[in-house]
Amino acid sequence: QVQLQESGPGLVKPSGTLSLTCGVSGGSISSSDWCIWVRQPPGRGLEWIGEISHRGSTSYNPSIKSRVIVSQDKPKNQFSLELTSVTAADTAVYYCARSEGGSVVYWGQGILVTVSS
Amino acid sequence: QPVLTQSSSASASLGSSVKLTCTLSSGHSSYIIAWHQQQPGKAPRYLMRLEGSGSYTKGSGVPDRFSGSTSGADRYLTISNLQFEDEADYCCETWDSNTRVFGGGTKLTVL
């Protein structure tokens, strides 16, 4: 049973950098389709942020592409998100996820990140 | 890139059936989608993968009450014998080589 767990600070200052890590258990990220980050602002729907393949290829949402980096650490079986120059609009629950056959199949439990001074 | 359109809300009575719709944008009617359920205060849960042919594959532990179907650019999620625990947001997802898209979600109320 694949399980994902997000970790990182729950509070980030405006103009700072949001950094999150997703630990994966029950399956190697080397065998994944894609390792994915999705966010959900309060009261709103899901927004794709970006993803990385097991080969290291990345794709990002064009709306935030200039501020996002998704990376992976295969020995630690984890992947990470960096979002720079954050504002209050980046306040959201951040989910890590894994795909199989193209679609998201496994979701983390989510972590609330608040951008505030 | 594809766009997914969903109604913002739906409601149905306990024990009845409901059919939720996710519509693919023009030029993307053959795309595969996935349905996800998000109960209040919880993370999303994968329900099924639904192809343009109407064939669907459900995730582990998804009850038989959940089924999928297709008509043209429309992808449907049907829930039979509605239970109070089915009250949730239902979101569709699609993807291609460079992007991944989620629909806005439909909030289902069980009366």
Q: Is the pLDDT of residue B7 over 90?
A: yes
Across the interface, do A110 and B46 touch by the CB < 8 Å criterion? no
CA–CA gap between residue B105 and residue B111 (Å, rounded): 19
Q: Measured between CA atoms, how close is A105 to chain B, in angstroms?
A: 5
pLDDT tens per residue, range B13-67: 999 999 999 999 999 999 999 999 999 999 999 999 999 999 999 999 999 999 9
Q: What is the mean pLDDT of residues A69-79?
A: 96
Q: For residue B26, what are the CA distances in angstroms to B29, B76, B93, B95, B96?
A: 7, 17, 16, 15, 15
pLDDT tens per residue, range A4-57: 999 999 999 999 999 999 999 998 888 878 999 999 999 999 999 999 999 999
Interface of A with B in 47-66 (CB under 8 A): 47-48, 51, 59, 61
Quote the pLDDT of residue A30.
Answer: 85
Q: What is the mean pLDDT of residues A86-114?
A: 97
**pLDDT range class, residue A100, cuts 50, 70, 90:** very high
Q: For residue B96, what are the CA distances in angstroms to A87, A102, B2, B32?
A: 29, 8, 8, 9
Q: Which of B36, B89, B102 sits opposite A48 (nearest CB)?
A: B102
Q: What is the mean pLDDT of residues B103-107?
A: 98
Quote the pLDDT of residue A33.
Answer: 84
Q: Label residue A8 left, alpha or beta by phi (over 0 means left) and psi (-120 to 50 means alpha).
A: left
